[in-house]
Amino acid sequence: MALFGNLGGLFTSDMAIDLGTANTLVYVKGRGVILSEPSVVAYHVKDGVKKVLAVGEDAKLMLGRTPGSIEAIRPMREGVIADFDTAEEMIKHFIRKVHKRSTFSKPKIIVCVPHGATPVEKRAIRQSVLSAGARRAGLIAEPIAAAIGAGMPITDPTGNMVVDIGGGTTEVAVLSLGDIVYARSVRVGGDRMDEAIISYLRRQQNLLVGEATAERVKTSIGTARMPDDGRGQSMQIRGRDLLNGVPKEIEISQAQVAEALAEPVQQICEAVMTALETTPPDLAADIVDRGVMLTGGGALLGDLDLALREQTGLAVSIADESLNCVALGTGKALEFEKQLAHAIDYDS
């Protein structure tokens, strides 16, 4: 029986991909999320010819540290494909990694796209997935996938509000009866927060740090509101002193990080407020009862739920597996394709 189980696993190679700006997650039908790696590809360039050197985790370590002959590229920008060929290589690599043995099967793949993606951007994603070896490529809107992954009852005739904060975009959506009533995609996410930390340190401390350091600050002591004691935790960071050009180490406190992140956090709050203002009154009443659900990696920013609660006056909760929500939701759309057929687009 175990043998037949394995054979079944070989043949059902259909998968769902959360093609994120920061990370790509792959969900295989019947097996769950089995791959989560950074969306980075490193190339070795010799005489104008590019050769893939590393993809995912290994390539991310090279970001900002490459010699002239090696390029580390992030093919996704703000939730959509910025570098077509590199994205195709990355998807191919992840498909091969997931299906080590079954090279003969062409999977059906469902990919989530930001709500604000243009028809041209959607076509680029679909084309990349098909070129990477998919039999069919379906697209599902990211807010729907996030809400399904967070376990929200989106098929009921009640209003549900989901805020998905990814690496490149924040999707704010109100859902009812399995579809989007209102959605807005703002180009603010984890990357914008990293940039805000870099520019704050440059302005206030005359210290130049790289993206990797900014991300470490954000994940270690990042917070969306001022600590109660006016300082909070602190950590040591290293960078280049802009005044005399030598490497230098300084201490940065949570209060400083909160100050640095004030603008991106405010933009997320404003997007939520705009969504609430444009929601039909009956659905708005449901949202008062049910509250707002935060998903995505950005939802893990310290005290973001409290900052949103202060702005909106609503109950704000963070999804259990907020990092994997979109991938899990896209995977469920693959498992229950008949019930969610209206949400999956196979032909645009």
Are 145 and 175 a contacting pair, CB within 8 Å? Answer: no
Whether 8 has a binding-site annotation, put simply, is: no
Whether 217 has a binding-site annotation, put simply, is: yes
For residue 160, what are the contacts with CB-CB under 8 A and spacing of at least 6? 147, 152, 153, 154, 174, 175, 176, 286, 287, 290, 293
Whether 20 has a binding-site annotation, put simply, is: no
Structure tokens at 96: 């091969």
Whether 333 has a binding-site annotation, put simply, is: no
Whether 45 has a binding-site annotation, put simply, is: no
Whether 307 has a binding-site annotation, put simply, is: no
Structure tokens at 327: 């991938």
Whether 218 has a binding-site annotation, put simply, is: yes
Count, in order, helices (H) and strands (E) of the chain. Answer: 12, 19
Whether 297 has a binding-site annotation, put simply, is: yes
CB atoms under 10 Å from CB of 5, counted, come to 9
Whether 50 has a binding-site annotation, put simply, is: no
For residue 264, what are the contacts with CB-CB under 8 A and spacing of at least 6? 188, 192, 193, 196
Whether 68 has a binding-site annotation, put simply, is: no
Sign for the pseudo-dihedral over CA of 92, 97, 98, 102: positive
Whether 324 has a binding-site annotation, put simply, is: no
Whether 190 has a binding-site annotation, put simply, is: no
| Annotated binding-site residue numbers | 21-23, 167-169, 215-218, 297-300
| Annotated binding-site residue numbers for ATP | 21-23, 167-169, 215-218, 297-300
